Amino acid sequence: MSHVAPLRYCLEPHDLAGHRCRVSLTIEHPDPQGQQVSLPAWIPGSYLMREFARQIETLQAYDAAGKTIGVHKLDRNTWQLAPCKGAVTIKTVVYCNDMSVRSAHLDDSHGFFNGTSLFLQVHGQEDQPCLLELLPPPANSTYQQQTWQVHTSLPEAKGWEGAAQRHGFGYYLAPNYDALIDHPIEMGTPTVASFEAYGAEHELIFTGIIPGLDLERIVADVKRICETQIRFFEPETQRAPFLDSSDRYVFMTQVLGEGYGGLEHRASTALICNRRDLPIKGRPEQSEGYRNFLGLVSHEYFHTWNVKRIKPAVFAPYDLSREGHTRLLWVFEGFTSYYDDLLLFRAGVIDQPTYLANISRTISMVHRNGGRHKQSVAESSFDAWTRYYRQDENSPNALVSYYTKGALVALGLDLFIRRETLDRHSLDDVLRLMWDRYGRDFYLGAPKGVAEDAMPALIHEATGVDAGKFLQLYAEGRHDVPLDKLLPIAGLRLEWRAPNNTLVGIDWRTRNQGEEVQVATVYEGGNAHLAGLSAGDRLVAIDGLRVTSSNLDSILGRYAVGDTISLHLFRSDVLRQFKLTLTAPGKHECHVVANARP
Ligand code: ZN
């Protein structure tokens, strides 16, 4: 077969020390009136304008004879090529030095690339197949990159001349632009393991130096999680969801000294975790950090169904040039946050006390912040771009998280459905109906997304329960989910306690900068607020005693509820003094407790 794919991309990691890639694109049939191309302004799953085009250092266009074509920029992301005859080639140099799951990173140890940072969208040809050539880094005795391998869920261009072998450099093929930018690519020498879940191949790769890594244990746990989720959505066929897009699923993890996060894709996920969170051979205890890592794995894998396939109508298809507003992120992130833990428990990866502790932590987090009475999870979803993703010192007073409160809406809804149907139905049925209606055939027909007002009817269809009022109050409205009334259905109850390490209360959140204590957040209505403190204040002394991050608790421990203390602090460079009356620590800590005999 000849290489006349309509769109041919080439990625060459050519300057490892300088973090630069050369990326070229040949358009076989450009718009004769002048082709427009652009780079996405955001990456699906992360709702903030990132303006990836700002990392393009140079961009030049050439006609088939190699003559330069005029280019001018139309807006922050879009280029207009001058009219020309025949194929055009656009050559860019892209700076790749962002160690996150959202963009691109290249150095002498590895490369990690999201297509949204590298590959130009050819306007009007988004449905054309995209052939991608991956070149190895330059041969250079300083580095050992000759041994680099490629890890991606993007399928090799089978049948094409120069097609990559598995894990090799060469040609890969995406059916369209949407797919091209949804299969991140890792190249380097990571630690690799693989397993099958119901016959579908899964690969786990870890980039970074990880002495003593207990890979066998991770494989065993992740396999149980994947199988449990596949059974959840496809109890009859046990068919993995990504098989329409790739013959494998890839968990690509960057292991760092500090970091946590993930981003979901149709047949892979990019994760960042702390080195200390990964299990060590010969140490069987389950650390909280490792549970968090497994929770992240569970969360991102669940997204393969819920948000990559079942998605809001506004994301089907994505418009990556501007914000896509939906009031439903509490379904896509909140439900996913509910099920990530629940399915760890159902998979037997965590025990019941651990699961209840996780729910308790989520309830405590939601109830700590007064912002939940100013914003509903539907409003928080809609404004994710400018509010949840752009948090500041006042966010706890002003915002609610569609992740954590969304998970409580899911928990409450699950219990509500179970109560109304005498346990014949649950939220599981709603997710399965949504998979059936929107997800399973997503890549086969015209993609259809979930309408903004569809949830009550979907819940009714799946379970027979009228949840309209419930959602009106707790998802569209700003009321607390009445878990105290609903948890007893599951033989559980809520207890509120004061954190047991707090002797007296100051309603602030502190940040330690070196030794210095700085006020991070002042809770609205709390004693720090009433005393006149402000976020940013740098604490100097309590009753004349110098305060540092290491002695703050021991100094406060000398006082009792009702005592008034004198605080010296710097606001900007002005020394100020405030009087603050200590209060009893608030009962902010929730504990979900199992009743002895339900
Ligand atoms: Zn998520």
* Centre of ligand 1 from the C-alpha of residue 300, in Å: 6
* Centre of ligand 1 from the C-alpha of residue 179, in Å: 19
* Centre of ligand 1 from the C-alpha of residue 347, in Å: 20
Which of 12, 44, 41 is closest to 121 using CA atoms?
41
* Centre of ligand 1 from the C-alpha of residue 303, in Å: 7
**All residues with CB under 5 Å from ion ligand 1:** 333
* Centre of ligand 1 from the C-alpha of residue 260, in Å: 13
How far is the CA of 299 from the CAs of 224, 241, 303, 322, in angstroms? 14, 15, 7, 26
Question: Which tokens belong to 355?
Answer: 């699961």
Helices then strands, each counted (H, E), the chain: 16, 28
- Per-residue pLDDT tens over the stretch 110-158: 999 999 999 999 999 999 999 999 999 988 655 554 689 999 999 999 9
Give this prediction's pTM: 0.96
- Residue 434's Cβ-side half-sphere holds a number of Cα atoms within 13 Å equal to 28
* Centre of ligand 1 from the C-alpha of residue 466, in Å: 27
- Per-residue pLDDT tens over the stretch 273-308: 999 999 999 999 999 999 999 999 999 999 999 999
Any idea how long the chain is? 598
* Centre of ligand 1 from the C-alpha of residue 334, in Å: 8
Q: At a CB cut-off of 8 Å and minimum separation 6, what does 168 contact?
A: 149, 150, 156
Segments of the chain scoring below 50 in pLDDT: 1-2, 145, 598
CA–CA separation, 297 vs 341, rounded Å? 10
3-state secondary structure of 195: strand
* Centre of ligand 1 from the C-alpha of residue 342, in Å: 15
CA–CA separation, 252 vs 269, rounded Å? 6
Which of 236, 243, 262 is closest to 251 using CA atoms?
262
* Centre of ligand 1 from the C-alpha of residue 121, in Å: 25
* Centre of ligand 1 from the C-alpha of residue 462, in Å: 24
Residue with tokens 């809804």: 413
- Residue 281's Cβ-side half-sphere holds a number of Cα atoms within 13 Å equal to 7
Contact 157, 2 (CB under 8 A): no
* Centre of ligand 1 from the C-alpha of residue 32, in Å: 42
* Centre of ligand 1 from the C-alpha of residue 473, in Å: 24
* Centre of ligand 1 from the C-alpha of residue 457, in Å: 24
* Centre of ligand 1 from the C-alpha of residue 506, in Å: 33
Instruction: Please report the sign of the dihedral spanned by the C-alpha atoms of residue 468, residue 470, residue 471, residue 477.
Output: positive
Contact 341, 359 (CB under 8 A): yes
* Centre of ligand 1 from the C-alpha of residue 230, in Å: 18
* Centre of ligand 1 from the C-alpha of residue 114, in Å: 17
Contact 313, 351 (CB under 8 A): no
